[in-house]
Structure 1
Amino acid sequence: MRQYPEDLAPGTRVGRWRVVEPLGVGGQGAVYRVEDLEHPGNFYALKLAWYASDGRAEREVELMMTRAVHPHVVGFHGWARWPHPREGCLGFVMDWVPGLALDVWAEREGSTFRRLAEVGATVADTLGELHERGVLHRDLKPEHILVRESDGQPVLLDFGVGWYEGAAPLTTGPLPPATLHQLTPGAVRFLWKSREHPGVRYAFQPGDDLYALGVCLYRAATGHQPFPEGLPADLLQMAIIEARPMAPVLVNPRVPRALSDVIVRLLSKDPAKRYPSGAALHEALSSAARGEEPAWDASIFDWEEVPPAQEGGSPERRLVRPPRPKPSWSAPPPPPVPVRVEQRSRWPSGLVLAAVVLLALVSMVRVSPEAPSVQAPDEKWATDVRVDPPGPARYEQAPLPVRNQKQAPCTEGVEVELSGACWRTLEQRSPTCPRLTFAYKGRCFLPVLKEQRAPTSVDGGVPEER
């Protein structure tokens, strides 16, 4: 029977590590909690890529071993291949960090704005140090900022699309793999203009990372993205360039004004009006967090008691999420960039404005990620892996999400994550998959049709070239 990275059962031995339990499956691979057999009782996270030659995994290892070593960056402890020590899928072992993603942590009762500003300041300082070393994260989003359970300190994850001098491109398009909501107005303008200049690539800057941190802080402080999550890609790109997101304090009145002002400045359309460096942002957030107003030590969101489900039970407390913000246009919305009709409809400007104001909840148009290259494994990535039974590696493209499909995070134990979306695994196995399901790695997957919040990283290439 063939085996794939998500198939490792507890007890499986991969090099000197023993699988304890699965932690999650994503579009780039599977992650497990493992125990170091040479030092029993020490636990780590093993990330197995889908492919033998995976540019993102190799990029992440390269950075974690050298330029990105930092107390607030997940640590690296070794690599392995599975199921074959030379041709198997590439995996690497890193710190296992119990904790919560920034947006999930913010929605936990007891999380305060003072702690949010302090966490943001630490992330800003960390990014500033990495930028001085020539390292750019390029995919900063709430799920890549983990708030550690033991001490409440942030840890940056997932440098798979990070950049350093001499790093090879990961995509064929003008932008690196990106999450549309995190893109700066400058990156979107470059994407539009790149259609006139095939082959050009966007020069990602430290300011792009800081802008993305501003989006993360906005999401944590308000419970929403700066722009509606359900906008189609075309409208979202226009909103990023032309629409002004509502200030956080106007979305969630609990937000201290000083913190709201910092976030608003981070999301300025003009790069010159933003903070010039991670150090400057660190100082701004630290200074704001020294405020003495009671709002700083209040819970980020309001909570209310709800009656118990059964008579005699204890009442439960439920988070009260602020209403969805409505962005305003700083100028009349422009008509879309003319492209081929089959790829982009020519929306009248009035309809664009109406769509944004009414917050049309339409699934975001996805751009296919770059197909992975399958090359002979580099000698330096070979290792001793003892797994039984062995099986050949398989190279397939994970199914892409469909319209209105629920996005990650997925319900643990019920759904699996592929390409950033949620799927249910059926008992049937390919090639006898039922209609409306997708066959992948010998299994049948049914898309979960419930819209969720955060889009996953996609290739930011030119849509009509895909």
Structure 2
Amino acid sequence: MVERLGVGGQGAVYRVEDLDHPGDFYALKLALNACTGRAEREVALMMTRAAHPHVVGFHGCAYGPYPREGCLGFIMDWVPGLALDVWAETGNTTFRQLATAGATVAHTLGELHGRGVLHRDLKPEHIVVRESDGQPVLLDFGVGWYEGATPLTTGPLPPATLYLLSPEAVRFLWHSPERPGSHYTFQPTDDLYALGVCLYRATTGHYPFSEWLPADVLQSAIVHVRPMAPVLVNPRVPRALSDVIVRLLAKNPSERYRSGAALHAALVAAASSREIAWDASIFDWEEVPPVQEGGTPDRHILRPPRPRPALTSRSAAPFRMARRSRWPRRLALVASVLLTLVPVTRVPLKAPGLRIPNEEWATNGGIDPAPAQYEQAPLPVRNQKMAPCTKELEVELSGACWHSIGKRRPPNCPPQTVAFKDECLWPVPKSRPVPTSVDGGAP
């Protein structure tokens, strides 16, 4: 074992070296829970139907960390490279290269779907662009499906990442209490929808709907909210590529591309354009002068602002809500009528007896102004953790989480903190979501 490459909820992946052939490196994936049978299930899939030039290669089974005991694992190709979203932000990746890589992934998914294999957990970190030749490679079929595979969960949905679920999967989850024991049938269009989310993330720097939203809000957005077109978020995106991604994210699966082959053809046709925009870098960059004289200037990516999607439909129960919404209006009407009937004593208005000082005196006060009765809560900063916040540890203001470092009157607050109601507040930084799958039906 050379180093740990990553760890998730069900397994850990290490870079390992062949002792008999020094310099030959592989990836070893070990199951963290030997009782679930996931490792055996993934091995059966990798050995047979998932074998493909653009799927990580399988080499054999192993037990770790000791040869004869420990957790079952298997040895795969070690693929040096970058995840799709990270690769898109290197500064050298063009839209044409991204569309070509997306077309290859679409073609690979189409061939796997033809064999009855569904990935079911496609996300940017599971699409690695190989460093040696720039080809995309699919990783992690731990929750993949094939005919005859045993279910992994007892909930209505298979294990999934919430912000990559399709609208039809979320709708099924909502109606699952009406059908106890029912299970969602994952379709190829679900994989293609997830690929659309990956391409959206690569072209805009954001997911269509923030992964930091509360689960119920995120589910509602997936079903009811139309994501902004990538070209409206990042004006550098070619219109043809933006249109392909928008179609992939359609709420109705019948409006999306029906197969990986159809999506492959659409991306290849779009990338064949001779427009100069296709050969531009995906994001704009700025050079920052070096801190020390003679040093190398730094380059920083100019990520577009987070998109603000638009509603596509009404609430799930518009009729009931409309009936309830009449009562406040009726009560307000009755109250206004009663007020017109009740005699009211009118008091003449009197101007306040205050003398307005001249501007020079007002702006040169010799004492600190008295604290305002109402203070505006501080606004969140970039990369700050958003609500919900940890109870009894963090303070929620303006929808963000803050640490209170005690009662101090401004301007005695330390740097990088803000003063609010005689307290110094420090913004809690957000942590990167754990790149693992969870049971989509669990809370």
Q: TM-score range by the shorter chain?
A: 0.7 to 0.9
TM-score by length of 1: 0.70
Q: Choose which of 310, 315, 326 in structure 2 pairs with 1:328.
A: 310
On the 8 A contact 2:125/2:435 being kept in 1, the answer is no
Residue in structure 2 matched with residue 301 of structure 1 by the alignment: 283
Q: Choose which of 247, 250, 255 in structure 2 pairs with 1:273.
A: 255
Residue 198 in structure 1 maps to residue 180 in structure 2: yes
Residue 51 in structure 1 maps to residue 23 in structure 2: no
Residue 262 in structure 1 maps to residue 255 in structure 2: no
On the 8 A contact 1:363/1:403 being kept in 2, the answer is no
Alignment of 1:411-422 (within 5 A): none
Deviation at 1:29, TM superposition (A): 2.5
Deviation at 1:197, TM superposition (A): 1.2
Deviation at 1:55, TM superposition (A): 2.7
Going from structure 1 to structure 2, the CA distance change for 1:177 and 1:117 (only over 3 Å counts) comes to: same
C-alpha distance after superposition, 1:9-51 (max 9, x if no partner) = xxxxxxxxxx222223332232221122233332101111213
On the 8 A contact 2:385/2:430 being kept in 1, the answer is no
Give the Cα–Cα distance (whole angstroms) in 1 for the partners of residues 95 and 387 of structure 2. Answer: 31
C-alpha distance after superposition, 1:41-85 (max 9, x if no partner) = 321011112133343222221111000000000001111112455
Give the Cα–Cα distance (whole angstroms) in 2 for the partners of residues 178 and 276 of structure 1. Answer: 21
Give the Cα–Cα distance (whole angstroms) in 2 for the partners of residues 361 and 23 of structure 1. Answer: 26
Letter in 2 for 1:106: A
Deviation at 1:298, TM superposition (A): 0.2
On the 8 A contact 2:80/2:131 being kept in 1, the answer is yes
Going from structure 1 to structure 2, the CA distance change for 1:245 and 1:99 (only over 3 Å counts) comes to: same
Q: Choose which of 105, 111, 125 in structure 1 pairs with 2:107.
A: 125
On the 8 A contact 1:231/1:361 being kept in 2, the answer is no
Residue in structure 2 matched with residue 80 of structure 1 by the alignment: 62
Identity score, percent: 74
Letter in 1 for 2:168: G
| Structure 2 spans left out of the alignment, 5+ residues | 321-383, 396-427
Structure 1, 75-84 or 255-264: larger mean CA deviation: 75-84
On the 8 A contact 2:386/2:430 being kept in 1, the answer is no
Give the Cα–Cα distance (whole angstroms) in 2 for the partners of residues 120 and 459 of structure 1. Answer: 27
Q: CA RMSD in A?
A: 2.4
| Larger Rg over CA atoms | 2
Q: Choose which of 173, 188, 194 in structure 1 pairs with 2:170.
A: 188
Residue in structure 1 matched with residue 121 of structure 2 by the alignment: 139
Residue in structure 2 matched with residue 450 of structure 1 by the alignment: 430
Q: Choose which of 199, 203, 217 in structure 1 pairs with 2:199.
A: 217
Alignment of 1:92-171 (within 5 A): 92-171=74-153
Give the Cα–Cα distance (whole angstroms) in 2 for the partners of residues 312 and 208 of structure 1. Answer: 52
Deviation at 1:329, TM superposition (A): 0.1
SS in 1 for 2:235: coil
TM-score by length of 2: 0.74
Residue in structure 2 matched with residue 228 of structure 1 by the alignment: 210
Give the Cα–Cα distance (whole angstroms) in 1 for the partners of residues 159 and 314 of structure 2. Answer: 30
Residue in structure 2 matched with residue 461 of structure 1 by the alignment: 441
Going from structure 1 to structure 2, the CA distance change for 1:179 and 1:364 (only over 3 Å counts) comes to: farther
Deviation at 1:309, TM superposition (A): 2.1
C-alpha distance after superposition, 1:128-147 (max 9, x if no partner) = 00000000000000000000
Give the Cα–Cα distance (whole angstroms) in 2 for the partners of residues 279 and 90 of structure 1. Answer: 36
Going from structure 1 to structure 2, the CA distance change for 1:117 and 1:40 (only over 3 Å counts) comes to: same
Residue in structure 2 matched with residue 313 of structure 1 by the alignment: 295
Structure 1, 48-57 or 249-258: larger mean CA deviation: 48-57
C-alpha distance after superposition, 1:201-254 (max 9, x if no partner) = 000000100000000000000000001232101011000010000000000000
On the 8 A contact 2:61/2:75 being kept in 1, the answer is yes
SS in 2 for 1:78: strand
Going from structure 1 to structure 2, the CA distance change for 1:364 and 1:69 (only over 3 Å counts) comes to: farther
Deviation at 1:451, TM superposition (A): 3.6
C-alpha distance after superposition, 1:368-413 (max 9, x if no partner) = xxxxxxxxxxxxxxxxxxxxxxxxxxxxxxxxxx999xxxxxxxxx
Letter in 2 for 1:75: G
Deviation at 1:462, TM superposition (A): 4.8
SS in 2 for 1:189: helix
Going from structure 1 to structure 2, the CA distance change for 1:27 and 1:188 (only over 3 Å counts) comes to: same
C-alpha distance after superposition, 1:324-343 (max 9, x if no partner) = 0001001234469x9xxxxx
SS in 2 for 1:209: helix
Residue in structure 1 matched with residue 53 of structure 2 by the alignment: 71
Give the Cα–Cα distance (whole angstroms) in 2 for the partners of residues 81 and 305 of structure 1. Answer: 49
How many pairs are equivalent? 345
Give the Cα–Cα distance (whole angstroms) in 2 for the partners of residues 364 and 180 of structure 1. Answer: 17
Give the Cα–Cα distance (whole angstroms) in 1 for the partners of residues 286 and 199 of structure 2. Answer: 24
Give the Cα–Cα distance (whole angstroms) in 1 for the partners of residues 199 and 394 of structure 2. Answer: 28
C-alpha distance after superposition, 1:417-448 (max 9, x if no partner) = xxxxxxxxxxxxxxxxxxxxxxxxxxxxxxx9
Letter in 2 for 1:114: R
On the 8 A contact 1:178/1:457 being kept in 2, the answer is yes
On the 8 A contact 2:27/2:76 being kept in 1, the answer is yes
Larger relative contact order (Cα-Cα within 8 Å, sequence gap ≥ 6): 1
Deviation at 1:363, TM superposition (A): 5.5
